Amino acid sequence: MGRMNRFMRNGRSIIIAYDQGIEHGPTDFDGRNVDPKFVIDIANKGGFDAFACQKGIAEKYHEMIEIPLLIKLNAKTNIYGKEPVAKQLCSVDYASRLGAAAVGYTIYIGSEFEADMVQEFGKIEEEAHDAGLAVVLWVYPRGEYVKDDTARDMVAYAARAALEFGADAAKVKYTGDKESFSWVVKSAGNVPVYMAGGKKTKNESEFLTHVSGALDAGAAGIAVGRNVWQSSDPLRTAKVLNELIIDRKSPEKVTKTA
């Protein structure tokens, strides 16, 4: 777990992600969370272990960010809907100068352009490790050849690829149940696996059940955006997640006491 230790409490962590403005567009936002300051304030006060964002947000707002910074090095919009590819727009050196403690990169395995991302990531991973930065890989099976991106064997393939690509942490989608996710976690070897938050669930208990299933399966935590900053009370949600993930209280207990 080496390089991720500094982001962990009790061996687990909660990463708050705020790169959806580029990945999905401002359609994910409302009048509150469209303002980066709103989300940075939640990140600072809510008990999060890293703030994941693109270099533009880091450049413009880094003075406000009080928790470890995880700068994503590649990005794409979702306007072009065919085979996905996200290329590097920020160097490891620049991320480091902006104060990053870790860098992030997305590989869409199964995409027609997988090889380009794998090659780019290989270089980034070596540069980041030479600079003493942790490398978090968003590893998503996607594209025409991926029939079901949350199927057990597909997500396990992603987790295994993260280990073999040299990532220090793998961020993957949840498979829907603890049993299948256990295989995903096993497939990653000693690379900590983080569950991606996903679209805001209809009710909080659904989300907590997923998070709890992932943790029972051995996940190291979550990287979450929408389920926190789209919440009507983000700091309350953050408190609940801390009790669930870091203190390992049950979903029933944390919702009762919140």
Which residues 103-162 are close enough to bind ligand FBP by CB under 6 A?
138
Catalytic residue among 18, 140, 157, 174: 140
Q: Which of 198, 201, 218, 255 binds ligand FBP (CB under 6 A)?
A: 198
Q: Which stretch binds ligand FBP (CB under 6 A): 37-45, 56-64, 190-198, 206-214?
A: 190-198
Residues 58, 194, 134: CA angle, nearest 5 degrees: 50
Q: Which of 17, 109, 139, 208 binds ligand FBP (CB under 6 A)?
A: 17
Q: Which of 185, 223, 245, 254 binds ligand FBP (CB under 6 A)?
A: 223
Number of residues in contact with ligand FBP, rule: CB under 6 A? 14
Q: Report strand pairing: 50-53 vs 87-88.
A: unpaired
Residues 6+ apart with CB under 8 A from 35: none
Q: Report strand pairing: 87-88 vs 74-75.
A: antiparallel
Q: Which of 68, 197, 213, 221 binds ligand FBP (CB under 6 A)?
A: 197
For residue 70, what is the enclosing H or E element? strand 69-72
Q: What is the DSSP letter of 146?
A: -
The verdict on 224 binding ligand FBP (CB under 6 A) reads yes
Q: Cα(178)–Cα(29) distance, rounded to whole angstroms?
A: 31
Pick from 219, 180, 172: which is nearest to 196 by CA?
A: 172
Cβ neighbour number for residue 190 with a 10 Å cutoff? 7
Q: Provide the minimum distance between the beta carbon of 1 and ligand FBP in the complex, in angstroms, as a whole number.
A: 21
Phi, psi (degrees; rounded to nearest 5) at 51? -110, 115
Cβ proximity to ligand FBP: between 14 and 185 the closer is: 14
Q: Which stretch binds ligand FBP (CB under 6 A): 1-9, 55-63, 174-182, 223-231?
A: 223-231
The verdict on 196 binding ligand FBP (CB under 6 A) reads yes
Q: Provide the minimum distance between the beta carbon of 130 and ligand FBP in the complex, in angstroms, as a whole number.
A: 25
